[in-house]
Amino acid sequence: MEQRRRLATYDWAVMQQDTPELVELRAGAAVLAVSPAAGGSITRYASQHGGTMLEWMRPALPEAIENRSAGNTSSFPLVPFSNRIRNAAFRFRGRAIQLTPNFPPGPHAIHGHAWRAPWNVVARSDTELTLEYRHAADTWPWSYRAEQTFTLTPEALLVRFAVTNEASDPMPVGFGLHPYFVRTPRVRVRASVGRMWRADDEQMPDALVAPPPQLTLEGTGLNPDATALDNNFVAFGGQAAIEWPEWKARLDLIADPIYACLVVYTPPGRDFFCVEPATNCIDGFNLAERGRADTGVIVLAAGDTAAGNVTFTPRTGL
């Protein structure tokens, strides 16, 4: 794993030289890099402590920027929904919506549009960057505008996400962030969560069950190597923490209440894991249509905006 971290740092240096479209922010010992072209994705968040550069998110793989592959970055945006919509179809107020499956060979729609499209730079300074993505109505029959603002300080990274309905009728929407974190043998994850959606064979919500006790803030911490998850948690309390005992470091995640859900993804045999704050739960549009009130799905009137902040705060010397 330490070798993987060194290689990631080396690859990052190469990418800096070869990809001028990267936007880099610096604040004290902290650095943030974003690729507007690769889905408006973060490609690095790191800071130096005692002569050591700590990677708070998995550094983007070299092909991520070259191929505009958001799934190989450090974190990418989710809009106009988080995670999957079963069979890429749902109903909203009596209207049948059929989307295009976008993650073959599966039949579902996943993570919306913006992670596979370029974003435009709206404003930037040494420590702040604002990007926007505009979507014209198509199989998703509403036009909308999404905006991300990244604010870097020496102490933290704040990501503000906003979505505006630019259609003439109400639009259901969800949004979120999909960060990847470096997996070490002793890393632990804790979070303030309610119940967990058990997943079926297609990773779709099946039943609400109790969460793993080690994941909760009061627990011992969930080790990604010990527990394979690809699950949605409801009643997210807006707090999560990732602890790397090997580094004597922790990353605190604080999300606004609009982020009602949290997805934890710990795939076996990989060198990363994900902790994803989102406003809606997996297949939330279909669950809401069936009458559930805990899906986190937002309905925006024409011209309305929904927004929320997520702050990542590193802690060292633990």
pLDDT of residue 10: 31
Domain ranges of the chain: 2-316
Mean pLDDT of the region 60-83:
92
pLDDT digits (tens, 9 = 90+) for 148-207: 999 999 999 999 999 999 999 999 999 999 999 999 999 999 999 999 999 998 888 999
CB 181 within 8 A of CB 244: no
Average pLDDT, the chain: 92
Its sign, for the CA torsion 136, 133, 83, 261, is negative
H or E element at residue 259 = none
The DSSP code for 238 is: S
Q: Which pair of structure tokens corresponds to residue 151?
A: 């604010």
Specify the higher pLDDT residue, 86 or 8: 86
Residue 50 predicted with pLDDT over 60 = yes
Q: Compute the distance between CA of residue 57 and CA of residue 217 in angstroms, rounded to an integer.
A: 21
Contacts of range 198-205, beta carbons closer than 8 Å, 24 or more positions apart? 198/231, 199/230, 199/231, 199/282, 202/86, 202/106, 202/108, 203/84, 203/230, 203/282, 204/84, 204/86, 204/108, 204/282, 204/283, 205/232, 205/281, 205/282, 205/283, 205/287
Q: Compute the distance between CA of residue 266 and CA of residue 190 in angstroms, rounded to an integer.
A: 13
- State the virtual CA torsion across 275, 105, 171, 167 in degrees, nearest 10: 120
Q: Which pair of structure tokens corresponds to residue 66?
A: 């070259």
CA triple 244-247-249, angle to 5 deg: 60
Q: pLDDT band for 18, please (50, 70, 90 cuts).
A: very low
Class of 2-316 in CATH = mainly beta
pLDDT of residue 177: 98
pLDDT digits (tens, 9 = 90+) for 107-124: 999 999 999 999 999 999
Q: pLDDT band for 14, please (50, 70, 90 cuts).
A: very low
pLDDT digits (tens, 9 = 90+) for 279-313: 999 999 999 999 999 999 999 999 999 999 999 99
CB 308 within 8 A of CB 202: no
Residue 3 predicted with pLDDT over 50 = no
pLDDT of residue 106: 87
Of 144, 122, 171, nearest in space to 300 by CA: 171
Its sign, for the CA torsion 226, 231, 235, 241, is positive
pLDDT of residue 318: 78
pLDDT digits (tens, 9 = 90+) for 206-254: 999 999 999 999 989 999 999 999 999 999 999 999 999 999 999 999 9
Q: Which pair of structure tokens corresponds to residue 50?
A: 């005692």
Instruction: Provide CB contacts within 8 A for 177, sequence distance 6+.
Output: 75, 76, 77, 78, 159, 161, 276, 277, 278, 310
